[in-house]
């Protein structure tokens, strides 16, 4: 099957990340179109003898990995992982990310935090100097939604990035639900001057299950562009 130019870039980043994987490793599998390339690469290598245990970050990824015959586990059985490879919606030079475009950021963050290393794979279109061009996804509980969103609005205003906050709906107008059955809202903040401050403020809001800011989690970002795959940060040396 021939890939479009953008899918080729994602594939290159995924192949490079797959080169880090050795038999015996416990792997976190991310979610999204870029992470799906990585899962395919691992599937191919597993069919050639690579032996890994994989924890998926979404039902989508679990199904893909299952079809490829990968050995699956959960964080309950395997609470510590060696490496998680995942995509991102946006990243900045400090390796801070926005994730959750696919609504999986809660599980993605839990799996990344359970891993010794998180390596992100992207194409260069996701690179920004200041986070916020991509709408920040939040997973929120149904209960008290309006009150939760009022707190979110206050927090974004206080941190210098007010903007519309919209419940995510599908093409038929139905609320998008996460794998845990909760709602997603997207915050159109344009530019987030203080990602750490916003992350702290959002985490303190009751009803806010998880925000899509990933700070201090990624060890390295593999960025594919027309010239090849570039590394931002440091690839793990102790895998």
Binding site for ligand 5RP (CB under 6 A): 30-35, 86-89, 99-105, 108
Q: Which is nearer to ligand 5RP, 29 or 198 (CB)?
A: 29
Q: Which is nearer to ligand 5RP, 26 or 105 (CB)?
A: 105
CB of 218 to ligand 5RP, least distance (A): 12
Catalytic residue among 15, 108, 139, 210: 108
Cα separation of 56 and 217, whole Å?
Answer: 17
Nearest to 178 by CA among 167, 189, 187: 167
Is residue 108 flagged as an active site residue? yes
Exposure of 152 in the CB half-sphere (CA atoms within 13 A): 29
Residue sitting closest to ligand 5RP (CB): 32
Nearest to 199 by CA among 112, 98, 115, 119: 98
What stretch of H or E contains 16?
A: helix 5-18
Q: Which is nearer to ligand 5RP, 104 or 140 (CB)?
A: 104
* Alpha carbon 26 to its chain's center: 18
CB of 38 to ligand 5RP, least distance (A): 10
Q: Which is nearer to ligand 5RP, 99 or 117 (CB)?
A: 99
CB of 101 to ligand 5RP, least distance (A): 3
* Alpha carbon 215 to its chain's center: 12
CB of 31 to ligand 5RP, least distance (A): 4
Nearest to 136 by CA among 182, 198, 92: 198
Residues 6+ apart with CB under 8 A from 49: 23
Any idea which residues carry the catalytic annotation? Answer: 108
């Amino acid at each position: 099957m021939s890939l479009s130019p953008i899918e080729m870039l994602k594939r290159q980043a995924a192949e490079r990340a797959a080169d880090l994987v050795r038999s015996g490793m416990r792997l976190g599998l991310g979610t999204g179109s870029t992470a799906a390339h990585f899962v395919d690469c691992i599937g191919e290598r597993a069919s050639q003898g690579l032996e890994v245990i994989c924890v998926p970050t979404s039902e989508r990824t679990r199904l893909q990995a299952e079809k490829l015959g990968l050995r699956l586990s959960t964080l309950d059985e395997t609470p510590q992982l060696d490496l998680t490879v995942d995509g991102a919606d946006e990243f900045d030079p400090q390796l801070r990310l926005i994730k959750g475009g696919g609504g999986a950021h809660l599980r993605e963050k839990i799996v990344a935090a359970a891993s010794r290393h998180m390596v992100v794979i992207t194409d260069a279109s996701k690179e920004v100097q200041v986070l916020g061009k991509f709408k920040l996804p939040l997973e929120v509980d149904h209960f008290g939604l309006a009150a939760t969103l009022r707190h979110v609005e206050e927090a974004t205003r206080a941190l210098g990035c007010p903007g519309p906050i919209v419940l995510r709906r599908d093409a038929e107008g139905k609320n998008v639900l996460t794998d845990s059955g909760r709602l997603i809202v997207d915050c159109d903040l344009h530019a987030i001057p203080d990602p750490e401050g916003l992350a702290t403020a959002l985490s303190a809001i009751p009803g806010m299950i998880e925000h899509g800011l990933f700070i201090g989690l990624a060890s390295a970002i593999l960025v594919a562009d027309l010239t090849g795959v570039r590394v931002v940060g440091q690839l793990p040396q102790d895998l």
